[in-house]
Amino acid sequence: MSILPDIIFDYENAKGFFGPEELVQMEEKVKQKHKMLLDRSGSGSEFLGWIDIPERYDREEFEKIKSAAQKIRKDSDVLVVIGIGGSYLGARAAIEFLQGRYPGYPEVYFAGNNLSSTQILEIKQRLEGRDFSLNVISKSGTTTEPAIAFRFFKRMIQEKYGKAEASGRIYVTTDKNKGALKELAGKEGYTTFVVPDDIGGRYSVLTAVGLLPIAAAGADVDELMAGAALGRNKFMEAGFESNDALQYAAVRNILLEKGKNIEILAGYEPCLHYVAEWWKQLFGESEGKDGKGIFPAAVDLTSDLHSMGQYIQDGQRCIFETVLDLSNTGEEILVGEEEDDLDGLNYLAEKTVDFVNRSAMKGAIKAHVDGGVPNLKVTLAARNERTLGELFYFFESACGVSGYVLGVNPFDQPGVEFYKKNMFTLLGKPEIRQI
């Protein structure tokens, strides 16, 4: 019996929106950009370390990550991860995708991803009477949101355990050689991990940035990397006809040329919510520049069929939809039978909730396509680390190629500095520093 790959891309429900000759033309563009990416001849080539990391990662640091994760699991009920953007979204996506599979492991709370005092105090309350550790993630150590949160939780952990023991519970992921956080870690004796110079934050989930909290939560990071390696092999070696990442990059750019400039990522399982949040940053920050780019949005279905469903079905036809289909949830809950059948659902008796959910998905896809919304689908074979690792690599590699097709540098983010300059001026910061 043949074994299906962990990730399958399908654009059958988009073929009615463009002609085969358009795909042939885009295929040639995508092949050229694929070669440019692998040759490191395009813009942003100094940030392409993510391409090879599933095969060529630092084995010594990888073992150090697993050792630190084991210590966190042994002495902590909770790990507080402090970071923003690419410094936390990949880890959160992985942990929530795999949630519930590792009872007894530390809970993971995420802080420093906003400027809400309410959230900081809520986490503080949840830490009362519990043992905890900190993992602060920042290349510079001066980014406002995580720096404020780290000041707060560092003081809290030092008050609880004393400075010496607290230092053994603080894990820092930062620049290898320089920066405020690197300097502080050296002074205080914190365990440190490296944010690689050649990998941008939104591509960093398979580095210590993502791997330490993922491992601390109980996930098998060896399997995660194995899945990413499988994705890399497909991306590097497969021809266009069997290269899912290249096909995804091609089809989404054809649809953009057709005026479909908003992509909605739709998941039918709650565990996919933060996968979508990670995806939004990956594509939004990579493609949204120079007045170009496909706007990335996301919905949680079937919940959002009762809110956003009307717009998707009947609003402006500038959108296309990419469905994440988790084909095997591993759960079987039967719908019960009621004697009175007042809600009229006895026709579903003895069917699984998953069957109902998948029927809703198929029905929504057909309705949306009929309503003028092209649909792409990414099928995930299982809810496990290997599948997720391949999914991460699939989106990263497709994003790199797609950005080059658009004619932008998909590995920089110059626009994010503008709001910071305005904020620092309003706060009275004496000197504007690059962060």
Write down the pLDDT at residue 148.
96
Write down the pLDDT at residue 416.
67
Q: Each residue of 247-271: pLDDT tens digit? A: 999 999 999 999 999 999 999 999 9
Average pLDDT, the chain: 94
Cβ–Cβ under 8 Å, residues 277 and 285 = no
CATH of domain 7-43+224-406: 3.40.50.10490
Where helices occur in 6-116 by DSSP H, the ranges are: 20-39, 53-56, 59-75, 89-97
Write down the pLDDT at residue 137.
98
Q: Do the domains at 7-43+224-406 and 51-219 have one common CATH topology?
A: yes
DSSP of 217-253: TT--HHHHHHHHHHHHHHHHH--GGG-HHHHHHHHHH
Q: Where does the pLDDT of residue 118 fall: very low under 50, low under 70, confident under 90, or very high at 90 and above? A: very high
Q: Which two tokens stand for residue 239?
A: 């021809």
Catalytic status, residue 292: no
Write down the pLDDT at residue 382.
93
* Among 31, 124, 160, 420, the one annotated catalytic: 420
Domain range annotation of the chain: 7-43+224-406, 51-219
Write down the pLDDT at residue 286.
98
| Helix, strand, coil fractions of the chain, as percent rounded to 5 | 55, 15, 30
Write down the pLDDT at residue 226.
97
Contacting residues for 59 by C-beta, under 8 A, at least 6 apart: none
Catalytic status, residue 420: yes
- For the chain, percent of residues with pLDDT exceeding 90: 90
Write down the pLDDT at residue 24.
97
Q: Each residue of 329-355: pLDDT tens digit? A: 877 899 999 999 999 999 999 999 999
How far apart CA 359 and CA 371 sit, in angstroms, is: 18
Write down the pLDDT at residue 101.
63
Does residue 3 surpass a pLDDT of 50? no
- For the chain, percent of residues with pLDDT exceeding 70: 95
* Among 285, 287, 321, 385, the one annotated catalytic: 285
Q: Each residue of 44-67: pLDDT tens digit? A: 999 999 999 999 999 999 999 999
Contacting residues for 189 by C-beta, under 8 A, at least 6 apart: 167
Does residue 197 surpass a pLDDT of 50? yes
* Residue 302, preceding peptide bond in cis (omega within 30° of 0): yes
Write down the pLDDT at residue 2.
35
Q: Where does the pLDDT of residue 434 fall: very low under 50, low under 70, confident under 90, or very high at 90 and above? A: very low
Cβ–Cβ under 8 Å, residues 74 and 130 = no
Q: Each residue of 275-313: pLDDT tens digit? A: 999 999 999 999 999 999 999 999 999 999 999 999 999
Q: Each residue of 14-47: pLDDT tens digit? A: 999 999 999 999 999 999 999 999 999 999 999 9
Q: Each residue of 122-174: pLDDT tens digit? A: 999 999 999 999 999 999 888 999 999 999 999 999 999 999 999 999 999 99
Q: Each residue of 306-325: pLDDT tens digit? A: 999 999 999 999 999 999 99
CATH class entry, domain 51-219:
alpha beta
Does residue 104 surpass a pLDDT of 90? no
Does residue 4 surpass a pLDDT of 60? no
How far apart CA 86 and CA 52 sit, in angstroms, is: 19
